Chains A and B, each alone.
Chain A
Amino acid sequence: MKPNSSCHDAEPKVWQSLYLMLLCLIGTCFLWALADGVEVRTPMNLIFLGLLILTLKRWTAALMLGIVQAYLYVQDVPSLHSDPVTLSVEFFRILLITLMVLCVSRFRALNDGDDPSILAPLKATLQGMVSRERAVVVSMRSNVQTFVGWMLRTVLLISLCAVVAETVLTMFPVDPRSGTTIREFRLKPNGYRALMMSVTLFGLVLPLILLAGELVWRTMSAAQARTYQRSIFLGLLHTDLRMILFRRQKLRRSRQRPQERPADPTPPNTLLMSESQE
């Protein structure tokens, strides 16, 4: 484990314990922010919190995001005309949920699957700190500074995203009686006609393109099929490897470009002179 690592490096394993501690802290804040007197909402929030904590052991980020979507869907979205307190509470709640999802996701990413329980990394770190193991203490001290800096930057970014999301959500409220609704958007007659024509044409052309594409696709050779399969599975299963390959290709192309220039029949000096004369 590297004691001094920047946020651009791979995250150290000790960050797993920090994520877990932060998750407990944020979860407590979340529970504290729940009580607003609605009977149905509190049990739903607790169920959501339980599902979120279960993600530490059971499932991956895709389902977590699904849970967050479901949560946001059942929430009452305040309109732009609501008082600032309501808006800020809603913002705080969204921020907490996002931070919890972030912590769970990073915890899972750092978990290599060998740990017998969720609390094992936290227990090991705490034991090392209590028994004052020098390596653990030095590692924690330097990593906490890096972790806090990284977390602050992330919170700023998430806050910005939450502000944008909240503005958009309050512009288009779920309840049509609570302010400006999307039904109030109108088009000019000419614009509407152009839109209708393009949608109709698109609806007609799309099935034809699909059929033609699929018919042509079935005529490919076995070598082409193998290349396609390799390419697709590389993209789906090894995205990082694909990124490295793309970067290498780009680098090779940029190296080849200066070598190709002397092959140009016009010497560079002549070209410059002709350009300056023009």
Chain B
Amino acid sequence: MLFWIREIAGWLLVVLSLIMVRLATTYVASPESPRIVEASVVMFGAMVILRMGILLIRISTAARICLAEQTRVENKKN
């Protein structure tokens, strides 16, 4: 269950980072006054959050695979 919570948290972080990328795009998209510096700051933050989210997802996936393998081995022994 803990792995699933981590995976959901990871996906939430990924979604948050995508929203931030979208926000950065809107900053750049206004031709009247494109806010380039603000967009780059938001984009940097989005990349950090994306990396953290992916790390959480990958760790939880790997942990689930390890646990499934361990359970299979224990069942075979029994």
Seen from chain A, the residues whose Cβ lies within 8 Å of a Cβ on chain B are 172, 182-183, 185-187, 192, 195-196, 199-200, 202-203, 206-207, 210, 213-214, 217-218, 220-222, 225-226, 228-229, 232
Contact = CB atoms under 8 A, between A and B. Distances in A.
Interface in B40-69: 50, 54-55, 57-59, 61-63, 65-66, 68-69
Contact of B58 (A182, A185, A228): A228
A139 B33 CA distance: 63
Given A199-B24, A199-B25, A192 B34 contact: yes
State the 3 A-B residue pairs at the shortest beta-carbon distance, nearest first: A222-B69, A225-B65, A225-B62
Given A196-B28, A206-B21, A220-B62, 19 more contacts: A172-B37, A182-B38, A183-B35, A185-B36, A185-B37, A187-B36, A192-B34, A196-B29, A199-B24, A199-B28, A200-B25, A203-B22, A214-B61, A218-B61, A222-B65, A222-B66, A225-B65, A225-B66, A229-B63
- SS of B interface (majority): helix
Contacts of A214: 54, 57, 61
Contacts of A229: 59, 62-63, 66
A183 to B, nearest CB: 6
